[in-house]
């Protein structure tokens, strides 16, 4: 039972707080011999699987480590280009770890603003007047819950689909925000939240919510 | 005796700190400003409190006034007594009032750049006014030690008078 992350977005759509509480790391490490039966290609700053999905390695997974050493973007730990390294039969057999790459803070900023825009579109398209906007986005691996306050701040929580009590958690996060961010003389409105007490209390609240969550298989 | 919402006080105090911060250039100045504001509060709080709690009696001994501060004064202002009252080992002029989490700092997270700032300087100013107006002039300062410690340094004359009273 887990709460994956918390995002707080301000009135203008900018991300002001982000916390990764639990990241389900589904990495797969396998040993390969030449030739590699996966097709890899460069994408942004990473080397990504383009074709050849098998055994837990999905399309879109990035190369995370080669022979145990973490790769640095498109280069191995020693500075060699990953694709060149893997194209040379002399380097085999090689053990490669694939997995979903962690989002960089820039990407998180962009995604938060995108969600802000979708939220606005959603509430305008709604046939009802005074729509509350997108409250929940459900997929088969996670649920994204969103709560917009009267002042336009959005609190988003990504959690396991079986986790209950997220509504209460969103209200609690709102309370914590109004206590430790708004009553802090050193916090300016709409700016990134950098308050120790806010972090501490938020983590406590997440732990309480996780423990009280529903009991499902594999918790 | 009425109770006040903590949220209301916290928002007011937060505005107080921001108001001071706009007019100062250093942490020391900010603490001095907060102490000054606390001073005003202390003077007014003392009269009302003494009239309610100790009608007709006035503290004359140093220990007496310190116990009054730790107990009734703190309880009336912050809803709970101060955690500890200690005397310095080497100096009979210096006393410490220690609180793990002072009420005024409940919602305040000091950013790392100003980590020496302790908003309990407000409480320090308050205490200084209370002691001064009761006839025990002293210097009170706030420090980050075991939580928050208010260091009280009495004037020489006060200690000398106290000693002569004990002798009698």
pLDDT bucket at B168, cuts 50 / 70 / 90: low
Regarding whether A188 and A127 lie in a shared domain, the answer is yes
What's the CA angle centered on A135, arms A131 and A140, to 5 degrees? 145
Question: Would you state the structure tokens that stand for residue A88, as one six-digit string?
Answer: 């040379």
Evaluate the omega torsion of the peptide bond into residue A35 and state whether it is cis, within 30 degrees of 0: yes
Q: Do B119 and A185 lie within an 8 Å CB cutoff?
A: yes
Give the CATH number, domain containing residue A69: 2.30.42.40
Tell me which chain A residue has its CA closest to the CA of residue B16: A185
Query: Does residue A160 lie within any of the structural domains?
Result: yes
Regarding whether A120 and A87 lie in a shared domain, the answer is no
Q: Do B109 and A198 lie within an 8 Å CB cutoff?
A: yes
The structural domain count of chain B equals 1
Residue B112 has pLDDT above 60, yes or no: yes
Query: Does residue A47 lie within any of the structural domains?
Result: yes
Regarding whether A195 and A111 lie in a shared domain, the answer is yes
% of chain B at pLDDT higher than 70: 98
Regarding whether A84 and A34 lie in a shared domain, the answer is yes
CB A165 within 8 A of CB A209: yes
Question: Would you state the structure tokens that stand for residue B152, as one six-digit string?
Answer: 């009280």
Give the CATH number, domain containing residue B128: 3.30.1380.20
Regarding whether A12 and A60 lie in a shared domain, the answer is no
Query: Does residue B154 lie within any of the structural domains?
Result: yes
Distance CA A71, CA A61 (A): 14
Asked which of A69, A99, A129 is the last residue of a domain, the reply is A99
CB-based contact, A198 to chain B, within 8 Å: yes
Query: Does residue A180 lie within any of the structural domains?
Result: yes
The structural domain count of chain A equals 2
> What are the tens digits of pLDDT across the range B28-71?
888 899 999 999 999 998 888 888 887 778 888 888 888 888 88
Regarding whether A14 and A82 lie in a shared domain, the answer is no
User: What is the reported pLDDT for B1?
Assistant: 59
Kindly report the nearest CA distance between residue B33 and chain A, in angstroms: 15
Residue-level length of chain B: 168
Regarding whether A110 and A209 lie in a shared domain, the answer is yes
3-class DSSP state of B23: helix
pLDDT in single tens digits along all 219 residues of chain A: 689 999 999 999 999 999 998 877 778 888 888 778 888 888 878 888 888 888 778 888 888 888 888 888 788 888 888 888 888 888 888 888 888 888 888 999 999 999 999 999 999 998 888 888 899 999 998 999 999 999 999 999 999 998 888 999 999 999 999 999 999 988 999 999 989 899 999 999 999 998 886 544 343
Full domain range(s) for residue B63: 6-167
User: What is the reported pLDDT for A219?
Assistant: 38
User: What is the residue-averaged pLDDT of chain B?
Assistant: 87
User: Taking CB atoms and an 8 Å cutoff, what residues of chain A touch B14?
Assistant: 182-185
Query: Does residue B91 lie within any of the structural domains?
Result: yes
- Least Cα distance to B13 among B78, B71, B74 occurs for B78
Full domain range(s) for residue A85: 27-99
* The CA-based dihedral angle spanning residues B5, B11, B17, B19, taken in that order and rounded to the nearest 10 degrees: -130
Please state the pTM of the whole predicted model: 0.83
Regarding whether A17 and A59 lie in a shared domain, the answer is no
User: What is the reported pLDDT for A1?
Assistant: 61
Query: Does residue B1 lie within any of the structural domains?
Result: no
User: What is the reported pLDDT for B39?
Assistant: 93
Asked which of A99, A129, A161 is the last residue of a domain, the reply is A99
Distance CA B130, CA B135 (A): 9
Distance CA A54, CA A198 (A): 43
* The CA-based dihedral angle spanning residues B49, B55, B59, B60, taken in that order and rounded to the nearest 10 degrees: 150
Query: Does residue B157 lie within any of the structural domains?
Result: yes
User: What is the reported pLDDT for A215?
Assistant: 45
Give the CATH number, domain containing residue A111: 3.30.450.70
- Least Cα distance to B106 among B148, B141, B68 occurs for B148
Q: Do A184 and B107 lie within an 8 Å CB cutoff?
A: yes
Please provide the DSSP assignment of chain A as one string.
--EEEEEEE-TTS-EEEEEE-------EEEEE-SSPSSEEEEETTEEEEEE--BTTB-TTPEEEEETTEEPBTTB-TTS-BHHHHHH-GGG-SEEEEEEPPPPPHHHHHHHHHHHHHHHHHHHHH-SSSS-----EEE-SS-EEEEEE-TTS-EEEEEE-TT---HHHHHHHHHHHIIIIITT-TT--TTSPP--HHHHHHHHHHHHHHHHHS---TT-
Give exposure, A20-40, as e/b (b: 16+ Cβ within 10 Å): ebeeeeeeeeeeeeeeeebeb
3-class DSSP state of B60: coil
CB A69 within 8 A of CB A80: no
Q: Which of B7, B14, B106 sits opposite A185 (nearest CB)?
A: B14
CB-based contact, A202 to chain B, within 8 Å: no
- Its ipTM equals 0.82
Query: Does residue A58 lie within any of the structural domains?
Result: yes
* The CA-based dihedral angle spanning residues B155, B160, B165, B168, taken in that order and rounded to the nearest 10 degrees: 180
């Amino acid at each position: 039972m887990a709460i994956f992350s918390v995002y707080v977005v301000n009135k203008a759509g900018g991300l002001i707080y982000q916390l990764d509480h639990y990241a389900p790391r589904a990495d797969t490490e396998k040993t390969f011999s030449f030739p590699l039966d996966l097709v890899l290609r460069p994408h942004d700053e990473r080397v990504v699987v383009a074709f050849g999905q098998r055994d837990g390695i999905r399309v879109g997974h990035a190369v995370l480590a080669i022979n145990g050493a973490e790769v640095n973007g498109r280069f191995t730990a020693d500075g060699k280009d990953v694709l060149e390294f893997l194209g040379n039969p002399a380097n085999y057999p090689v053990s490669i770890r694939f997995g979903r790459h962690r989002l960089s803070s820039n990407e998180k900023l962009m995604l938060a603003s995108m969600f802000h825009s979708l939220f606005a579109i959603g509430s305008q398209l709604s046939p009802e007047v005074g729509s509350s906007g997108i409250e929940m986005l459900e997929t088969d691996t996670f649920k994204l819950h969103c709560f917009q306050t009267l002042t336009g701040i959005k609190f988003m929580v990504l959690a396991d689909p079986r986790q209950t009590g997220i509504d209460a958690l969103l209200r609690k996060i709102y309370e914590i925000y109004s206590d430790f961010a708004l009553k802090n003389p050193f916090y300016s409105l709409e700016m990134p939240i950098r308050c120790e007490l806010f972090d501490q209390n938020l983590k406590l609240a997440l732990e309480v919510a996780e423990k009280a969550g529903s009991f499902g298989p594999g918790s | 005796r009425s109770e006040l919402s903590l949220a209301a006080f916290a928002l007011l105090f937060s505005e107080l700190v921001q108001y001071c911060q706009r007019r100062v250039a250093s942490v020391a100045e900010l603490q001095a400003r907060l102490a000054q504001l606390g001073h005003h509060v202390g003077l007014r709080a003392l009269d009302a409190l003494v009239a309610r709690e100790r009608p007709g009696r006035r503290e004359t001994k140093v220990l007496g006034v310190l116990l009054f501060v730790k107990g009734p004064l703190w309880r009336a202002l912050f809803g709970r007594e101060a955690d500890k009252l200690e005397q310095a080992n080497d100096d009979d002029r210096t006393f410490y009032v220690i609180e793990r989490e002072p009420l005024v700092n409940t919602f305040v997270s000091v950013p790392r750049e100003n980590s020496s700032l302790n908003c309990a300087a407000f409480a320090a100013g308050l205490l200084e006014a209370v002691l001064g107006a009761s006839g025990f002039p002293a210097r009170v300062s706030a420090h980050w030690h075991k939580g928050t410690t208010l260091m009280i340094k009495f004037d020489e004359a006060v200690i000398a008078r106290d000693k002569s009273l004990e002798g009698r």
